[in-house]
Amino acid sequence: MKTGEPGVIRREVRHGMGMFIAASVILLTSVASGDIHQYLARDFFKDAPLGCISAEESITQLEKDLIIQSKFALSDEPLSPFSVISVAPHRLRLRDVDIHVYVEYPRGGWIVSVTSILGNHDQNHNTVFYFVNESGEIEGEIRAELLGIGQVFRNDLLDEADHFPEGQNCQVPLNIMECGSLIAVPWTWMNPEWSNRKIVNRVIYVWTGSLFDRVSVRISDGEVSP
C-alpha cells in the first residue's frame, strides 16, 4: 500500500507488549526531538472553536481564557472537566479531554485527535480527528476510516472457543492511550455475557506517520487483560 493511501494495515504480534512498547518509544522519541514539532497540542487548544473541546458540555470562553492566561499551569485540585492534568508538546491532558498531535502526515500539516473521556470509570471515550494544515489552520474534521482506523468486534479479542454468536458480536469501543494509540476496550464490568470468557488479544491502532496501523497483540499468560 502506498504511503498516505487510506486503508488498514493488519499485523499480528505474538511476543507480548514488548514490540509494541518499543515501537511507541521510537515514535514518541522522534516526535519530541528536532524541528518536527512545529505545532503543539496547546496550539490546537488555543485555536480550536469551543465546540471542539467538550466533555459533558463544551468548554466556555472564560474557562479557555483562564487556562491560556495561566500558561497551562497544572491544576492542584482538578475539579473542573477542563482542569489541566499534564502538558507535553504532542499532548495536552485535561481531566475529561485528551488532545494529541500526530506528526509527519503525508499531506503536510498535522492530525489532531480530541477525546472526550466520560463515565464513572472514564470508560467512555469519544475521539474526533482534525486536520491542521502547514500554516497551522484547522481545516476541519477528518474521518477515522481515512486514517486507517476500522471497527473492532468482540470476537477479535477472543479465542474461537469463546466467540459470541453472530448477533452478539458487537463493536468494541476504542480508548485513547497516553502515547496516542487507540486500544479496543470492551466494558465487561458486571456484564454476565463476559463472565465465562477470557480476553486473549489486544487490538491497538498505532500511528505510523501516515496512517494508524492495526496491531493485534496476544496477551501473555499472567498478564492482565484490558
Give the pLDDT means over successive 10-residue stretches in the chain (226 positions): 36 46 43 57 98 95 97 90 96 97 88 94 93 94 97 97 96 96 94 94 96 94 58
Please count the other Cβ atoms lying within 10 Å of the Cβ belonging to residue 152: 23
pLDDT of residue 13: 44
Kindly tell me the number of DSSP H helices and DSSP E strands found in the chain: 3, 11
Euclidean distance between CA atoms 162 and 1, whole angstroms: 33
Question: Domain coordinates of the chain in residue numbers?
Answer: 9-218
pLDDT of residue 123: 87
Give bridge partners of residue 93 from the DSSP assignment.
Answer: 86, 98
pLDDT of residue 226: 57
pLDDT of residue 22: 44
pTM as predicted: 0.82
pLDDT of residue 221: 64
Cα angle 98, 104, 110 (rounded to 5 degrees) comes to 45
The C-alpha cell 515514535 sits at 27
pLDDT of residue 212: 98
